[in-house]
Amino acid sequence: MMRFRRFAAALLAVALGASTLAEAKTPEEVRAQCRAEGRPCVGLVLSGGGARGFAHTGVLEVLEELGVKVDVVTGTSMGAMVGGAYAAGYSAAQIRDIVVGVDWDRMMAPRADRRDLPWRLKVDDYKNLSANGIEFTKEGQVKLPESVVPSEELDLFLNDKTGPVNYVNDLTELAIPYGAIGTDLVTGERVVLQKDVNLGRAMRASMSLPGVFAPVVIHDRMLVDGGLLDNLPVKLARDMGADVIIAVNVGTPLLKRDQLGNVVTVMAQMVNLLTEQNVRQSLKELGPEDILITPDLSNFSSADLKHSKEIMAIGRAAADKARDDLARFAVDRASWETWDKTRKRAVMPETRRTEHHLSDIRVEGLQLANPEAVLNEINLDTRRPVTNDEIDNASRLVWADGDYSSVRYRFEPGPNGTEVLVFEPKEKKPGYSSIRIGGSLETDFRDEHAFNVLLSHTWGWLNPWGGELTTEIQAGENRRVSTEFYQPLGPGAKWFIDPMLEYKVQPFNLYEGGEAVARFRNETVTGQLGVGYTIGRLGFIRTSAGYAVQKSNLEIGKGIPEVADVESPFLSTELLLDTLDSVNFPTSGFRLNIEAQRLFDKAEGTGYRNIYQAGFMLPVSYDRWTTLFAGKVGKAALPGVFALGGAFEMTGSPYGRWTGSDIQLGSVRISRNVSDILGNSSQPIWVGASFEAGRAWNRNDNTEAGDKSWHRAVGGYIGIDSLIGPIYLMTGRTNEEGWGCYFFWGRKL
């Protein structure tokens, strides 16, 4: 039976492009091979330590230069990742290139790349809604997030880099026998990840730091970071056949008393205590013939992912100091090169298939979502070869929908040498509902102050076609209650309908000679039914029919003419195209929105009134500099429909300084990301200047009225792209209004 399984594995390896396949190696077989060569068996043990683990790559470079033949590899967390790559056939130089080339911002982002989001989630960005919400099960119980960082990008990364050996389910069959350590979160047991698991899953489980990455379920065991119990797995290397140990310890040291100032550092210290305790036990297991390398990483933390080059250099320097000791385990150059070539041939990255001939695509494991909807989202053409990048991108798009915590895939043998691609989306919230929170705060340090808070509740997958009900409640300066039912016209269909009902209260000021002379309150009730078409991830086009009632009440002011009420059916068409990488501080992509509305004003019988508006944003970036071109235009047959004034809309003037039936605004913002200068790479900070020109005026029955002259403004600002949305401190002036200062968080709601 064992022979049959190995034969089948060999056939599958050939089918997937691997040139050779090693058999599982017992400790006795490992030692026998070393004895035949007249040398001790060398075990390489690499500890966990987050970004500090990049130092392992520098150590590997020295081992290769000396010609040290490694017989077994063990590792935990980042050590499991680097050690697993080396055991699978990657060279130190290849591992270095992979680490340096990783987009860590994308890898550690709290959600999918914005350009991959469906348009409904893109629209939510302009409401400053949180990326993650408070989720509820179908029983009404609160469901907290599994982790701070989603695992999708990490899973795709590991799947890609371990592709050549994903067929291997006994990790002692790798070019170098390998084992990793995980921790059973339920039982608290140390788990050796080696048998009946592929390399990518073993790496992923071993580095699942609790709270940061979601646990990994393997053989019905919920596994997290192995560093909690065995961060330096010396014993495992001995058990696998090692006579002597080269151990590299990069673990995070305990924090000092003055560093324990908040809940985050205290929780980190608890993890460090567990790690430090088991590392000390492992160090006791080292003998006089073993070598311990401890790089001086006192200036780097486990989170310094963007300092890989510096950390790798420190690892190399530490190995250089131990060069004489390491040289004791070196073999002659010819022998080492022969071994190294054999190691690389087994699973060289180039052996992974770059194209796949698919006979079928399946979706498995769903409880609520419709598999047909997922297949429509994947949209892979099986009539031609499909590339790895296409499959990865399809996985990203499904994950970006927001219904799944991860989207794994695997290959199965198909007829006539083809493959079956199997996707396994993990539903984040089966039968779910969730609440997300948003808000805004703004002041011009004069007369205008506004604070708004927004709660958005969503019920998803109400039917097999993916119906979704969203209710929003907004309190503060602008009050609003709305409910919308979004219904695709089929599983994963591009056509949709979205009936909506909304009530809102919105104040606005009337200015005369630059001074606010009156304050009105608009109350609006709107009901509409829209029919739309989704333009991929680009945006949508929608036509709606509805009925609106608007009443304007004078709150402050005397001798001010009343604003006429509006009660009218309407037709509207809206187009949105949005590829911005960020709505807070965009650096690439574009945004274009166009809306046209016809009011059939009942007060004028069969008459009608048209409203048109459009806006765009276009960022152009070079290095850390970005120039953002933006503008908007509006035209209506009703006075006072549009407002102009405030930050970025004639900076220096009060909010809503100019109103009119017509509006035109253009602006250019030049900004630089100064996080590198300030030494803050995790929290983007921008400094910039804004130049604006705009005007607003009223028309009445096609007769021009009011001031049509252009106004000019210039401003300067500092902005922070925070976890709760953009925060700005800004000052500027207009050619007529003088200077103004603003503080705002979020956006107008």
Return d(Cα 480, Cα 483) in angstroms, integer.
Answer: 10
* Cβ contacts of 491 within 8 Å, gap of 6 or more: 370, 372, 373, 376, 464, 465, 466
Task: Decide the pairing of beta strands 221-225 and 642-644.
Answer: unpaired
- CA separation for the pair 409, 200 (Å, rounded): 12
- Phi and psi torsions of 81, nearest 5°: -70, -50
| Mean pLDDT, the chain cut into blocks of 10 residues (749 residues total) | 38 37 77 92 93 94 94 94 92 92 82 88 84 64 67 84 80 92 91 91 89 84 89 94 94 68 63 79 91 92 87 95 93 90 67 80 87 86 88 89 83 87 78 78 78 88 89 90 95 93 83 66 90 94 93 69 75 96 92 93 63 95 93 84 86 83 93 81 84 85 64 93 86 86 79
Asked if residue 636 lies in contact with residue 566, where contact means CB atoms within 8 angstroms, the answer is no
pLDDT of residue 603: 56
Segments of 579-684 assigned E as strands: 591-599, 609-622, 625-636, 642-644, 658-660, 662-673
Contact 716, 689 (CB under 8 A): yes
Q: What angle do CA 355, 359, 364 make, to 5 degrees?
A: 100
> Residue 322: what pLDDT?
94
- Give CA–CA dist 416/135, Å, rounded: 46
Q: Which two tokens stand for residue 558?
A: 């005397």
DSSP 8-state class, residue 465: T
Contact 691, 680 (CB under 8 A): no
pLDDT for 5: 39
| Whether 564 contacts 700, CB under 8 Å | no
Residue given tokens 């600002």 in the structure block: 717
Phi/psi of residue 326, nearest 5 degrees: -65, -30
Inter-residue contact 176 to 343 (CB < 8 Å): yes
First to last CA, the chain: 67
pTM of the predicted structure, to 2 decimals: 0.79
